[in-house]
Amino acid sequence: MTMIFGVPMAVFMGQLTLGLVNGAFYALLSLGLAVIFGLLKIVNFAHGAQYMLGAFAALLGFRYLGINYWLALVLVPLVIGGLGMLVERFLLRRIAHLDHLYGLLLTFGLALIFEGTLVNLFGVSGARYATPEILQGGLNLGFMFLPTYRAWVLVAALTMCLFTWFMIERTRLGAYLRAGTENSQLMQAFGVNVPLMITLTYGFGVGLAAFAGVLAAPLYPVSPTMGSSLLIVVFAVVVIGGMGSILGAILTGLGMGIIEGLTKVYYPEAANTVIFLVMILVLMLRPAGLFGKEA
Amino acid sequence: MTDSHVLKAPSVVAKRQRRANLRRNAFYLALIALGLVAPFIAYPVFLMKILCFALFACAFNLLLGYAGLLSFGHAAFLATGGYTTGYLLASYPGLTPELGIIAGTLVATLLGVLFGVLSIRRQGIYFAMVTLALAQLMFFVFIQSPFTGGEDGLHGVPRGELFGFISLRSNMAMYYFVFTIFLFGYALIQRTVHSPFGQVLKAIRENEPRAISLGYNVDAYKLVAFVISAALAGLAGSTKTVVFQLASLTDAHWHMSGEVILMTLLGGVGTLLGPIMGAGLVVSLQHILSQSPLGNWVSVMLGLIFVVCVLSFRSGIVGELGAIYRKNFK
């Protein structure tokens, strides 16, 4: 059997795929954070909880309403995104004029409420969500076995990332968004409905988190705490990459996933911590982040 | 504060100042007297818990309220102090508790230097995210290290004999020891805030570019504030470990970092007494809820308080009371 640095090829490639899949989630979530941060200037601490709500909505929708995976992939981001818009409209907007740290604290409170409520309703142990039939099984590529669902997650997440990039960088709406990020008061003076745009942006960011949640549902146990620990890693990813650039967020997310996957192969004890260590390294060498402007 | 007195005769100013000092001293003496008789009224262990968390919140408030830095990773210092003290006292039976606490505080201080140097490189929300990530790193370190007992934590840490001859096994003796530590921590913070150093910190909080242009080495000031805050958080954690004779992962979890933010916010950010009141309220609430059928809803309640505080109660209880007092009685 082929070996790579003393590890069987199949194991190596398997961990690499796992890392890439995790990285795709980091990319999707840090992208959502970056989009929200760009316009609202707050860090959405509820992002992990909203990701978790996405997974739960898929699970419960299937259990009680018979909504299948594909429908959930479309509906859940819309519903959770809509919920996010309500949060923005009725809570975040009221503190928009204050120090942005208050936004962080408010969304942190929301995260506690969401997580705590679901822990009480469903317990902390995770529930399983069945992989859709068409995506079960896997492909034997000769040098490795590639589970179909993981391949699909990778494709779907990256497509969504690129779609977001296209929307923001290449459409008129995206141009408004970028202009609003630079100077929202001037935008409003030009007659753009900035408050509406802020609501939609927050909804979109939350929708991205929920989309990631639905993608994650068949992969990881669906539990109320699935979002919070992931979010802290995503924060580290955001610090590493900086929130200035969309492509930067995607690349950093994938890169950190790969690094984490490879650490699992060569030094499993550090797999949980390697991203934080990379963050420390980046803070020492390039404090503004790999793709960041000095903030 | 003294601007309006500038035009008045100096003797009037001096008299007012003296009177204000007198009032403040009387107030503090009353509080200390309350602290001294409290264990005869309420359960000492409960009071000690409040005092430990009050010290923790005061330490956190030094950073948020006076330097404007929101740390989301203060649990790391609490836990580092707690684990160090717990490990030392449990492994070396000859060690007296005060030495164990000093050691725990020192290790937390060192960690504070390390985290401080890294995190003050970024500002605002990035600072919050960096501290959170660093604290999570410590959480994993504590899970995996052999000396922390992993998921079980450290149990049966002996309280021992203070200075080698005062047994702390009785809760009363322990209480007065904790109360002394708390007073020491509070006095240190009070002195820091009212010192020229504290004034510069406030200047940095209000307008950092201006502080820089006035020639202050802003990063050095922030770092010192961070380290003092970390040291006192470590002191709180060490003391807590001696009181409860255990150290566990709960102290290192990000929920704990969130709780201390809530205590400070609820009591009043940037007020000296606010964090104490906030800690008292949050600990009491947790205590009451845990004995009621709503025991599982603690974190939801804390989340709700967070939201309410941010939306309509931003200066906290002490802050609001202070505003009412200034409006009506001055």
CB-closest option in B121, B134, B310 to A95: B310
Is the residue at B280 inside a domain? no
Interface list for A 75-94 with B (CB within 8 A): 91, 94
CB–CB of B130 and A284 under 8 A? no
Give the 3-state secondary structure of residue B272.
coil
Query: With left for phi above 0 and alpha for psi between -120 and 50, is residue A126 left, alpha or beta?
Result: beta
pLDDT at position B165 is 79
CA angle A223, A228, A232 (to 5 degrees): 145
The predicted structure's pLDDT at residue B1: 45
Average pLDDT over every residue of A26-47: 90
The total domain count for chain B is 1
pLDDT digits (tens, 9 = 90+) for A102-118: 899 999 999 999 999 99
- ∠ at Cα A116 (A111, A122), nearest 5°? 125
Percent of chain A at pLDDT exceeding 90: 41
Please state the rounded mean pLDDT for residues A218-237. Answer: 90
In chain A, where are the structural domains located?
A: 3-285
Strand A145-147 and strand A138-140: pairing?
Answer: antiparallel
Instruction: Report yes or no: A68 and A91 within 8 Å, Cβ to Cβ.
Output: no
Among B118, B121, B136, the residue with its CB nearest the CB of A232 is: B136
- Of residues A82 and A246, more confidently modeled: A82
DSSP class of residue B3 equals G
Task: Indicate yes or no: CB of A116 within 8 angstroms of CB of B265.
Answer: no
Hey, CA dihedral for B96, B98, B104, B109, is it positive or negative? negative
Q: What SS3 state is found at B247?
A: strand
Interface of B with A in 261-320 (CB under 8 A): 261, 265, 296-300, 302-307, 309-311, 314
Question: Are residues B90 and B103 in contact, defined by beta-carbon separation less than 8 angstroms?
Answer: no
The per-residue pLDDT of chain A, averaged, comes to 88
**Predicted pLDDT at B180:** 93
- Bridge partners, residue B161, by sequence: B167
Write b or e for each residue in A7-33: b if 16 or more Cβ atoms lie within 10 A of its Cβ, otherwise e.
Answer: eeeeebbbbbbbbbbbbbbbbbbbbbb
Better-scored residue on pLDDT, A287 or B268: B268
Could you give the CA distance from residue B95 to residue A281 in angstroms, rounded to a whole number? 38
Q: Is the pLDDT of residue A295 over 80?
A: no
Q: Which CATH number fits domain A3-285: 1.10.3110, 1.10.3470, 3.90.550, 1.10.10?
A: 1.10.3470
Residues of B in contact with A102 (CB under 8 A): 310, 314
List of residues 6+ apart from A142 with CB closer than 8 A:
none
* Max Cα distance, chain B (Å): 67
Distance between A34 CA and the closest CA of chain B, angstroms: 12
Q: Say yes or no: A106 contacts chain B, CB-CB below 8 A.
A: yes
Q: Give the chain A residue nearest B132 (alpha carbons).
A: A232
- In chain B, DSSP finds a helix count (H) and a strand count (E) of 14, 2
In tens, the pLDDT along B202-234 reads: 999 999 999 999 999 999 999 999 999 999 999
By the 8 A CB rule, do B279 and B54 touch?
A: yes
Test B306 with A108 for CB contact under 8 angstroms: yes
Cβ within 8 Å of residue B223, ≥6 positions away = B113, B116, B117, B120
Q: Give residue B7's pLDDT.
A: 57
Is A112 near chain B, with CB under 8 Å?
A: yes
Q: Is A191 exposed, middle or buried (0-12, 13-18, 19+ CB in 10 A)?
A: exposed
Q: Is A231 on the interface with B (CB under 8 A)?
A: no
Task: List, in order, residues 6 or more apart from A241 with CB less than 8 Å away.
Answer: A30, A248, A249, A251, A252, A253, A289, A290, A291, A292
Rounded to two decimals, the pTM is: 0.89
- Interface probe for A, chosen from B307, B308, B312, B315 (most Cβ of A below 10 Å), is B307
Chain-chain contact of A112 with B303 (C-beta, under 8 angstroms):
yes
The reported pLDDT for the residue numbered B264 is 94
| Winning range, highest mean pLDDT, from A61-70, A172-181, B25-34, B189-198 | B189-198
Residue of B136, B264, B296, B314 to mutate, interface with A, max A Cβ within 10 Å: B136
Question: Shortest CB distance from A113 goes to which of B130, B304, B310?
Answer: B304
Beta bridge partners of A3: A8
A84 close to A207: Cβ distance less than 8 angstroms: yes
Instruction: Count CB-CB contacts under 10 A for residue A131.
Output: 17
Interchain pair A283, B307: CB under 8 A: no
Domain that holds residue B158: 29-254
Distance from CA of A99 to the nearest CA of B (A): 10
- Residue A293's pLDDT is 62
Q: Does B130 touch chain A (CB under 8 A)?
A: yes
Question: What residues of chain B score a pLDDT lower than 50?
Answer: 1-2, 5
In a domain, B97, yes or no: yes
A165 touching B (Cβ < 8 Å): no
**For position B156, what pLDDT does the model report?**
81
The residue count of chain A comes to 295
In a domain? residue B147: yes
Q: How many helices (H) and strands (E) does chain A have?
A: 11, 4
In one-letter notation, the amino acid at residue B85 is T
